[in-house]
Every structure is written in structure tokens, then in C-alpha cells.
């Protein structure tokens, strides 16, 4: 493994790999990881874009960053992925992704300008009626079964959670709680998400 200063590497351009024009790449998934891998293959690997193939099983690309309108729920994203001045890992990518709408401007520039012109901050976690506060703040609405199941998940050894979904360890009542509303929109979880991953999130953030 090669280690170097991240800042130094960000300003240097790697040499073009020998024979890259004759190679192809197949990336499974169009979430942040898959799209970022494609980006680095184009920029640093200098692979032709039409040699990169992205495979996605869902109808929408974007992975946890997908956003769409549901006729019953309105417009929502499975995971919030807003750009901010502390999302340093994305700076290197977005500074070299060109804007779709503005020539000679990067996506990072667009985010930066937007945050300067329209700074916003809100503690509101959910809205109703096209923007009204749903007043769910600090109201997790956890019933006893859900609270006990979360506590049990927190202390369950990781080895016992292999190959289990969160729907295998949480009761049916959990899906109607505000806790689940917050959790799925903040971390892009689904009922079929890994129970082990949820345990690790609980241990880190709760």
C-alpha cells in the first residue's frame, strides 16, 4: 500500500496507465462509491468514459442518494447527502466535475456559491403540507417493543448479526415510529438493510 499526503496527491496528476484505451471497467451499483469509482477512472485513470459500464438493479440510479416523488408520501430522498464545508472527502471529486448548466464552472463552485447566496439552517426533521413543520422534533414515538429491540440490538455481538436484516431483529411497530423516519432519511436505511450495520451506527451515534 502506498501512502502520501492527501493534499499533495490532490494537486498532482498521475501518469496515464499503459494500455488503458484497451481496457474496460464494470462497476456494480450507482451509489456514491460506484459513481466516484467511475469518476477516478476517467480523471486519474484516463480511461475513456464509454469503456466504463455501470450496472444498477434498481429503477433509479444514485443508490442512497436517489430522490423521487411518491404519490402517497411526496418528494423524498432515502438519504440526505447535502454538500457542506466539512465534507472534505467530496471536495476533490466535485472540483473536477463540470457543471451541467454553467460553462467553465465545477459542481464544487456551484455548491459554494449557493451556500454563500442562500445560507440556510433548520432543526426541522419532517414537514407536512408543502413545508410546514410536522413538529416531530424529539418525539421518537418508540413503543416498548421497539425500544427493547433497539436496546437488544445495541448489545448483541456482531457475530450473531451476520446475514441478518434489520427487519429480522426489529418489530413491526418500529416502522411507524418517528425514530425510523429520522433514521432512514438520515442514513438511507431500508427494512432490508444490514442489522450489523445498524448496530454499528447505533454504537457510534447513539
99-135: buried (b, 16+ CB within 10 Å) or exposed (e) per residue? Answer: eeeeeeebbbebbbeeeeeeeeeeeebeeeeeeeeee
**Per-residue pLDDT tens over the stretch 94-126:** 899 999 999 999 999 988 898 888 876 666 677
**Per-residue pLDDT tens over the stretch 7-22:** 777 788 889 999 999 9
Q: How far is CA 32 from CA 13, 21, 35, 153, in A?
A: 22, 25, 5, 27
Instruction: Give the pLDDT band of residue 91 (cuts 50, 70, 90).
Output: confident
Nearest alpha-carbon partner for 91 in 10, 5, 4, 8? 10
Instruction: Give the pLDDT band of residue 4 (cuts 50, 70, 90).
Output: low
82 catalytic per annotation: yes
Residue 135: half-sphere exposure toward Cβ, Cα within 13 Å: 0
205 catalytic per annotation: no
Q: Report the alpha-carbon distance of residue 136 to residue 142 in Å, rounded.
A: 12
From 82, 88, 101, 172, active-site residue: 82
Q: Report the alpha-carbon distance of residue 20 to residue 135 in Å, rounded.
A: 55
Range of weakest confidence among 1-5, 46-50, 167-171: 1-5
Nearest alpha-carbon partner for 90 in 33, 29, 152, 19? 33
Instruction: For 111-179, give the DSSP string.
Output: HHHHHHHS--------EETTTEE---TT-----HHHHHHHHHHHHS-GGGGTT-BGGGTS-GGGGGSHH
From 40, 76, 182, 201, active-site residue: 201
Q: Mean pLDDT over residues 165-177, rounded?
A: 96
Amino acid at each position: 500500500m502506498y501512502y502520501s499526503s492527501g493534499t499533495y496527491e490532490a494537486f498532482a496528476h498521475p501518469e496515464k496507465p499503459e494500455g488503458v484505451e484497451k481496457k474496460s471497467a464494470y462497476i456494480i451499483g450507482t451509489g456514491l462509491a460506484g459513481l466516484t469509482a467511475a469518476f477516478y477512472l476517467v480523471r486519474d485513470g484516463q480511461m475513456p468514459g464509454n469503456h466504463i459500464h455501470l450496472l444498477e438493479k434498481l429503477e433509479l440510479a444514485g443508490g442512497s442518494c436517489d430522490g423521487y416523488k411518491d404519490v402517497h408520501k411526496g418528494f423524498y430522498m432515502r438519504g440526505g447527502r447535502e454538500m457542506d464545508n466539512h465534507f472534505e472527502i467530496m471536495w476533490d471529486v466535485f472540483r473536477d466535475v463540470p457543471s451541467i448548466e454553467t460553462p467553465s464552472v465545477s459542481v464544487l463552485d456551484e455548491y459554494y456559491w449557493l451556500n454563500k447566496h442562500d445560507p440556510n439552517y433548520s432543526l426541522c426533521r419532517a414537514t407536512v403540507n408543502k413545508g410546514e413543520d410536522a413538529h416531530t422534533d424529539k418525539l421518537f414515538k418508540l413503543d416498548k417493543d421497539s425500544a427493547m429491540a433497539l436496546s437488544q440490538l445495541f448489545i448483541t455481538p456482531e457475530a450473531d448479526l451476520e446475514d441478518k436484516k434489520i427487519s429480522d431483529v426489529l418489530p413491526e411497530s418500529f416502522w411507524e415510529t418517528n425514530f425510523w423516519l429520522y433514521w432512514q432519511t438520515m442514513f438511507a436505511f431500508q427494512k432490508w438493510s444490514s442489522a450489523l450495520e445498524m448496530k454499528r451506527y447505533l454504537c457510534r451515534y447513539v
